[in-house]
Amino acid sequence: MVVGRPFLTVEQIQRKVKELADVISNDYEGKDLLAVGILKGAFVFFSDLVRMIRTPLMVDFLIASSYLRGDSTGDVKLHYDIRQEIADKDILLVEDIVDTGITLNCIRERVLMKGPRSLRICTFLDKTERREVQVPLDYIGFSIPNEFVVGYGLDYDNKFRNLPYISVFKKTT
């Protein structure tokens, strides 16, 4: 297995997170923002993003999984759900990457069933080519080609999440 040179550098990532945070700060002025990080992959992006948002907010998390060793199973499991009452909240779901859209679509439908005041989605990466289910994305960091990427929270077999940049991952065997 090989992790190559940065595909997105630390500087590019930081600039983009700031841009997204600025737009989100303006859009959520005066609202009751509950930012929900989708774990595990979004943990790095989420913590960078919320620290740059200037409007008051609360945080919560969801743990969902649909991937096994880099291959999509299409089988979405929710291991941990939002704990707070969300009827009076403006929810922002924060995801690392949207690929087929299956995971996020399933999460979105479950959250909508609880009747939040509003629901928007922010994803750091978007692999549009691979989309199978259309999910409305309100804030997108980078649209990327159909490559398997690791780093900045994203893993292969639970490794490489701690890389500070994003790299394309290749299997050599």
Mask for 137-166, x = binds ligand 5GP (CB under 6 A): -----------xxx---xxx----------
**Residue with Cβ nearer ligand 5GP (25 or 100):** 100
Out of 99, 126, 138, 155, which one is annotated catalytic?
99
According to CB under 6 A, which one of 13, 99, 124, 126 is a site residue for ligand 5GP?
A: 99
As beta bridge partners, residue 23 has none
As beta bridge partners, residue 85 has none
3-state secondary structure of 38: strand
Say how many C-beta atoms besides its own lie within 10 A of residue 50's C-beta: 18
Q: What are the tokens at 41? A: 């992959």
**Residue with Cβ nearer ligand 5GP (48 or 95):** 95
Give the single-character DSSP code of 157: T
The maximal CA–CA distance of the chain, rounded, in angstroms, is 53
Instruction: Reply yes or no on whether 48 is catalytic.
Output: no
Site residues (CB under 6 A) for ligand 5GP? 41, 66-67, 72, 95-104, 148-150, 154-156
